[in-house]
Chain A
Amino acid sequence: MDNIKIEGTAKTPSVSFDREKGELTIGGRSIPENSIDFYKPLLEWLDRYALEPAPLTVVNMRLEYFNTSSSKCILDVFKKLESIKKSGKDITVKWHYEEDDEDMLEAGEDYDAIIDIDFVMVESPV
Chain B
Amino acid sequence: MTEIQEVFDLYDSMERKNIMLSFKGDMSTDLLTSILQLIENKLDRFGESPKIKRRMFNILVECLQNLYHHIDAPPRTLDGKQRASVIVMIAKNLNGYSIITGNYVLNDNAEALKKRLEEINGMTAEEVKQLYKSVLADGKMSDKGGGGLGMIDIARKSGGKLDYGFIPFDDGSTFFSLNVKVKQD
B133→A68 contact, CB < 8 A: no
Residues of B within 8 A of A100 (CB): 50-51
B58→A103 contact, CB < 8 A: yes
On chain A, which size bracket covers the interface? 20 to 34
Q: With A98-B50, A103-B157 as known contacts, state yes or no: A68 contacts B68, CB within 8 Å.
A: no
A71→B149 contact, CB < 8 A: yes
- Scoring B residues 9 to 34 as 1 if CB is less than 8 Å from chain A, else 0, what string do you get? 00000000000000000000100110
A120 at interface, CB cutoff 8 A: no
Segment of A20-28, A33-41, A50-58, A81-89 in the binding face: A33-41
A69→B145 contact, CB < 8 A: yes
B32→A68 contact, CB < 8 A: no
Q: Which of B51, B54, B150, B153 has the most CB of A within 10 A?
A: B54
A101 at interface, CB cutoff 8 A: yes
Residues of A within 8 A of B38 (CB): none
Residues of B within 8 A of A104 (CB): 54
A48 at interface, CB cutoff 8 A: no
A67→B62 contact, CB < 8 A: yes
What is the chain A residue whose CB lies nearest that of B33?
A: A10
Bound CA–CA A11/B29 (angstroms): 10
Chain B nearest CB: distance from A58 CB in Å?
24
A45 at interface, CB cutoff 8 A: no
Chain A nearest CB: distance from B34 CB in Å?
10
Q: Which of A10, A69, A106 has the most CB of B within 10 A?
A: A69
Which chain B residues in 142-158 approach chain A with CB under 8 Å? 144-147, 149-150, 152-153, 157
With beta carbons under 8 angstroms apart, the residue of A72, A113, A114, A126 that contacts B146 is: A72
Residues of B within 8 A of A75 (CB): 136-137, 139
B145→A73 contact, CB < 8 A: yes
Residues of A within 8 A of B146 (CB): 67-69, 72
Q: With A101-B54, A103-B157 as known contacts, state yes or no: A69 contacts B136, CB within 8 Å.
A: no
A71→B50 contact, CB < 8 A: no
A114→B150 contact, CB < 8 A: no
Residues of A within 8 A of B76 (CB): none
A114→B37 contact, CB < 8 A: no
A72→B147 contact, CB < 8 A: yes
Give 19 A-B contacts (CB < 8 Å), ordered by A residue.
A10-B36, A31-B61, A36-B141, A67-B58, A67-B61, A68-B147, A68-B149, A68-B152, A69-B146, A72-B139, A72-B146, A73-B145, A75-B136, A98-B50, A100-B50, A100-B51, A110-B132, A113-B133, A114-B133
In the complex, besides A72-B145, A73-B145, A110-B136, 16 extra interface pairs with C-beta distance below 8 angstroms are: A10-B33, A33-B29, A33-B69, A65-B57, A69-B65, A69-B145, A72-B146, A72-B149, A75-B136, A75-B137, A100-B51, A101-B50, A103-B58, A103-B157, A110-B133, A126-B50
